[in-house]
């Protein structure tokens, strides 16, 4: 099983949206699991429209993931039975316990080929614990937007990954441009090229980009991944996944 951690140096850059859509895309051809470890903003169940489901326990006491489709299984803090709309108010030790459980006690389908872990944003205790607890992560995918602040936080993420010996597979630039719905002009709201330049500067592969697109936001709201509905956006995710596969292939040579 190839395990990929999706991370970002700051919140709100589209990390969970990309993790969920990557998993949904992969599920068209492979068995895949997605693990949402974002304790305070678990959004994967909403993006996949499985919010009403709950995690069950197998007779052996393992966590039984929730199915999005035949090939995609999901586990999230949000699927642990809690009262709706209640914030997760857990202190560090309890979070550590759950992270440990997630790393050892999930009953993923035996033929699962990919595991996508949506890490909490930032470079603090939580992403650190997840990264350390999960042995054998094949690499990290860093999501950023072209803003300076976001790029600064990517540099931090790259250094964070290096410190804990987590290989960086590459960077995805999200919200790189907006197409005007009236005239079709492409507007680079957050500046241009930042992700590409930064990947050169930091010597990490550039995996691809996604536009700032109301379709993407709406797909998250209605719980239908955009790779199921929008051909162009699906192609962008395919480019990203092909680049990831190439890099993983190179690594294994
Ligand atoms: N390319 C995009 N175009 C339009 N909206 C987007 C795009 N990417 C993400 N969004 C929207 O931005 C919001 C934040 O996205 P998301 O929850 O994926 O970010 P995140 O980085 O995982 O945040 P956090 O880690 O802080 O929870 C969501 O409403 C999502 O639908």
Give pLDDT tens digits for 76-115: 988 886 666 565 656 667 778 888 889 889 999 999 999 9
Q: What is the DSSP letter of 106?
A: B
* Cα of 104 from ligand 1 centre, angstroms: 29
Alpha carbons 60 and 81: distance in angstroms, whole number = 19
Top-tier CATH class for 2-248:
alpha beta
Ligand 1 centroid distance, CA of 110 (Å):
31
> Is residue 123 very low, low, confident or very high in pLDDT (cuts 50, 70, 90)?
confident
pLDDT in tens, 200-236: 888 899 999 999 998 999 999 999 999 999 899 999 9
Beta bridge pairs of residue 236: none
Average confidence (pLDDT) over 148-152: 74
pLDDT at 246: 96
* pLDDT computed for residue 153 by the predictor: 82
Q: Alpha-carbon distance 63 to 56, whole Å?
A: 6
Please report the pLDDT score of residue 209 as a whole number. 92
Task: Return the pLDDT at 182.
Answer: 81
Alpha-carbon gap, residue 1 to 132, rounded angstroms? 18
Residues paired with residue 142 on neighbouring β-strands, in sequence order: 7, 171
- Residue 120 alpha carbon, nearest atom of ligand 1: 25
C-alpha 15 to ligand 1 mean position (Å): 7
Helices marked H in the chain: 15-26, 44-47, 92-104, 125-133, 148-163, 194-202, 214-222, 231-252
The region of weakest confidence among 20-29, 132-141, 244-253 is 244-253
Atom of ligand 1 nearest to the CA of 11: 26
Query: What are the extents of the domains in the chain?
Result: 2-248
* Rounded distance between C-alpha atoms, residue 214 and residue 30, angstroms: 28
State yes or no: pLDDT of 30 exceeds 70.
Answer: yes
End-to-end CA distance of the chain: 16
Ligand 1 proximal residues by C-beta, below 6 Å: 8, 11-17, 38, 41, 43, 121, 174-175, 210, 212-213, 216-217, 220
Count of Cβ atoms closer than 10 Å to residue 135 Cβ:
8
């Amino acid at each position: 099983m190839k395990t990929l951690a999706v991370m970002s140096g700051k919140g709100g850059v589209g990390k969970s949206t990309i993790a969920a859509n990557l998993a949904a895309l992969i599920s068209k051809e492979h068995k895949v699991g997605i693990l949402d470890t974002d304790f305070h903003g678990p959004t994967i169940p909403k993006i996949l429209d499985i919010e009403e489901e709950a995690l069950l326990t197998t007779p052996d006491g393992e966590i039984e993931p929730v199915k999005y489709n035949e090939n995609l299984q999901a586990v999230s803090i949000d699927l642990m039975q809690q009262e709706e709309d209640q914030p997760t108010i857990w202190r560090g030790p309890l979070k550590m316990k759950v992270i440990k459980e997630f790393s050892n006690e999930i009953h993923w389908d035996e033929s699962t080929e990919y595991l996508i872990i949506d890490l909490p944003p930032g470079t603090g205790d939580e992403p650190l614990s997840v990264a350390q607890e999960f042995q054998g992560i094949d690499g990290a995918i860093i999501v950023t937007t072209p803003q300076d602040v976001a790029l600064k936080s990517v540099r931090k993420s790259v250094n964070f990954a290096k410190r804990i010996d987590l290989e960086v597979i590459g960077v995805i630039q999200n919200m790189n441009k907006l197409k005007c719905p009236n005239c079709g002009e492409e507007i680079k709201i957050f500046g241009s090229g930042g992700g590409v330049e930064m990947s050169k500067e930091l010597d990490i592969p550039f995996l691809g980009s996604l536009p700032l697109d109301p379709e993407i936001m709406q797909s998250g709201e209605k719980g239908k991944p955009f790779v199921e509905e929008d051909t162009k956006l699906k192609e962008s995710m395919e480019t990203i996944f092909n680049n990831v596969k190439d890099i993983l292939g190179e690594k294994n040579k």
